[in-house]
Every structure is written in structure tokens, then in C-alpha cells.
Amino acid sequence: MEPGAGDGAPHYNENNGYRRPGDMSPASATDAAREADRIRPVLKRLWEQKKWDPTTVRAALLPLGYEEQRTGSNGKPNGGTLTVRAMNSRFTDGREVTPEGALVGLRVHGDACVTAFVQKSNYEVTTNGPYPETGCFEPPSGH
């Protein structure tokens, strides 16, 4: 069995490497924490106002000085650091359901992100290194 292998499944770490964020340098972690502290009160206010759709969340965060992330025709990032999008869909009661709410990803540095969400039940703001395939957002689970 691999060390740290969750439920002990063979190759757990190898098969789930894409779900582990990269490491942040100490300086990047400090900068990410500072940005998280700027975002947290905005999401708290929106949550208290029961406003968690992506359009409203994006509009509330842009005045903090962030620029919305743009993607070039090749699918590569082309400027900007902020992404606000709908929550991930999940399979519930035999169908795909997208819960109300917004996911927030802010690229602070190449090795540092602020990741957040706001939804009916709660909100959360955390910092993490980027994921290999999905940037600031944790990838959905595999099979």
C-alpha cells in the first residue's frame, strides 16, 4: 500500500495526482492569504444578501481591481486573473443538477490561487497552489 493512500486502493496517489494542488512558495502563500482576506468580506456580504449567482459575484469582485481572465482562441489564458463561474454540476436523483451559487478562482501568482465559493448554505475562501489540469479550480472526481 502507498503511504497516504486514502482508502488503501492500489495506485491511489498516482491515479489522483491531478486532484492535488501544486505547492506555493512562502511569499506566494502570503500574497494569496492577503487576497483571500480582501475577497472574504465581499462574499460574506453577498451571502447575507442571498446573492450568489456568478454575474452578481463577478460584478462585486471586479471593483477590488481584479481583471477577468480571458482565454485566447488556442484555449490558453490571455490576461486577467479572476474567473467566476457556475458551481460544478453533479448527478442527483438520476439527473445532472447544477446547484445555485458561484465558484471563484483568482490566480495570484503562477504558483498561488485563491479559490472560493458562495451558495445558499454557506461560503468559503481558501488558498491553494494550482491544479495541473484545471488551474485554480479543483478538478471534478474521476470515475
Rounded to two decimals, what is the model's pTM?
0.80
CA 40 – CA 26 distance, rounded (Å): 21
pLDDT digits 0-9 by tens, 24-67: 999 999 999 999 999 999 999 999 999 999 999 999 999 999 99
- Who wins on pLDDT, 67 or 73? 67
The burial class, CB within 10 Å (0-12 / 13-18 / 19+), for 40 is middle
pLDDT band for position 141 (50/70/90)?
A: low
CA 134 – CA 143 distance, rounded (Å): 17
Q: Kindly list the distances between the CA atom of residue 84 and the CA atoms of 3, 55, 103, in Å, as whole numbers in the listed order.
A: 36, 8, 6
Share of residues in the chain with pLDDT > 70 (%): 83
- Identify the weakest region by mean pLDDT among 44-53, 101-110, 115-124, 134-143: 134-143
Average pLDDT, the chain: 85
